[in-house]
Every structure is written in C-alpha cells, then in structure tokens.
Amino acid sequence: MKLPKHVLDLMGKKVKYCRAKQKEDGTTELFKGAGFITGIIIGASKRVQILIQDNDENKDKAWTLDPMCIDATDEEAKAYFEHHLRLKKIVEDHNAAQRVREQEKIAEVDLINAELFGKPLEL
C-alpha cells in the first residue's frame, strides 16, 4: 500500500502528544509530552496509529498513539482520556465477571466430581 505524501511528510516532525499513563498506585492519568513521529501503522482494521519517540533515553522504544493524541487541544485530550477510561472500565468489568464465571464453573466441576468420586479430601 502506498501512503499519501502528506502522511510521509509527518515522519520526523516534532509534535506534542498526550496519552493515558498508569501510575504506580494503579490509577491512570493524562500524560502530555513532546516527541518525534517515527512511524505510522495501519492495522488490518484500517485503524491508523502513530509511533512517537519522546526522547533519546527511549530511542529504542516508541509510543503507539491514536492520531487524535497528536497536537491535541485541551478538549481533544480530555475527550481521548475519557474515552480511554470508559474502555478501561469495560475491560475491568469483563475481567471481574469472567473471574466469577470461572469460580462458578470450578464449583460445578467439583459437584460433578463429588457425585462420582465423593468429596475431596480436606488436607
């Protein structure tokens, strides 16, 4: 696939960016920084992601960001962060429900096994 020239012109451009950053206490904050565009990814779903290298210390690492995170206004950064938190909540709720389902299925297997083998030994 050939990229349009205006996309290729972005390579090496210095930009400001924002991203969600997980803090040590597990909460998430909106982080703002500056860096250089080092790549563009177009996924199978045709979703575009921008690779940003933020400083020389991380020269072998790049952040993969949505285009709206590049040179974002305060309103765009806030909208992105709220979107990120909504998606994070969906994932956390799904994972919690999955853990409950797993425990229910384990209990169901234990009951079926108890019918044939009796109760497990208490050690």
Q: For all residues of the chain together, what is the average pLDDT?
A: 85
pTM for the model stands at: 0.69
Q: Residue 120 has what pLDDT?
A: 76
Q: Does pLDDT of 58 surpass 80? A: no
Residue 122 lies inside a defined structural domain of this protein: no
Residue 52 lies inside a defined structural domain of this protein: yes
Nearest to 49 by CA among 58, 59, 37, 61: 37
48-74 average pLDDT score = 80
Identify the band that residue 45 occupies on the pLDDT scale cut at 50, 70 and 90.
confident
Nearest to 67 by CA among 90, 33, 37, 89: 37
92-98 average pLDDT score = 96
Nearest to 35 by CA among 23, 50, 52, 47: 52
φ/ψ (deg, to 5) at 63: -85, 135
Cβ-in-10-Å burial (0-12, 13-18, 19+) of 38 comes to middle
Q: What percent of the chain has pLDDT over 90?
A: 42
Q: Residue 5 has what pLDDT?
A: 59
- What is the domain range of residue 94? 8-117
Residue 100 lies inside a defined structural domain of this protein: yes
Nearest to 61 by CA among 43, 42, 35, 94: 35
φ/ψ (deg, to 5) at 66: -70, 150
Residue 53 lies inside a defined structural domain of this protein: yes
Residue 66 lies inside a defined structural domain of this protein: yes
Task: Take residue 37 and report the two structure tokens written for it.
Answer: 């565009």
Q: Residue 81 has what pLDDT?
A: 94
21-27 average pLDDT score = 90
Residue 3 lies inside a defined structural domain of this protein: no
Q: Residue 3 has what pLDDT?
A: 55
Q: How far is CA 34 from the centre of its chain?
A: 20
Domain count, the chain: 1
Q: Residue 88 has what pLDDT?
A: 93
Residue 13 lies inside a defined structural domain of this protein: yes
CB 14 within 8 A of CB 29: no
